[in-house]
Amino acid sequence: QVQLQQWGTGLLEPSETLSLTCAVYGGSFSGFYWTWIRQPPGKGLEWIGEINYDDWGNESRNSTNYNPSLKSRATISGDTSKNQFSLKLSSVTAADTAIYFCARGIIRVSGRFDPWGHGTLVTV
């Protein structure tokens, strides 16, 4: 059974860079779309972006894809040797205060995420 364990800095000052990591346990890292999603307190879900690795564990061509609303502040990277992927979000403001979830995207062009990490509250 695949489980996602996430961690990162919970309190930031404006203009700093948010940094979160998600580790994948009990399953393959290859062939999935590793995704970050956030949820401002009391509000709905927002897709941040994804990184994809092919079935052989290689970063796919055009492997990352981001929500344009983040205006190029987001960077998602991965480490196949550790089965981990990370999110960096630069120049944070109070509007970036949210619970950040990592999730496994089953197939592209689907919006199907299973499982999810437990979430990390980031306060700016």
Partner 1 sequence: QSVLTQPPSASGTPGQRVTISCSGGGSNIGRHTVNWYQQLPGTAPKLLIYRNNQRPSGVPDRFSGSKSGTSASLAISGLQSEDEADYYCAAWDDSLNGVVFGGGTKLTVL
Contacts with partner 1, residue ranges (CB under 8 A):
35, 44-47, 49, 65-68, 101, 106, 108-119
Residues 48 and 101 sit within 8 Å (Cβ to Cβ): no
Q: How far apart are the first and last CA of the chain?
A: 34
The minimum distance between CB 13 and partner 1, in angstroms, equals: 27
| Nearer to partner 1 among residue 14 and residue 40 (C-beta) | 40
CA-to-CA distance for 32 and 51, rounded, in angstroms? Answer: 8
Of 70, 82, 71, 85, the C-alpha closest to 33 is: 85
Of 8, 119, 98, 106, the C-alpha closest to 46 is: 98
| Nearer to partner 1 among residue 78 and residue 117 (C-beta) | 117
The minimum distance between CB 114 and partner 1, in angstroms, equals: 4
| Nearer to partner 1 among residue 29 and residue 66 (C-beta) | 66
The minimum distance between CB 106 and partner 1, in angstroms, equals: 8
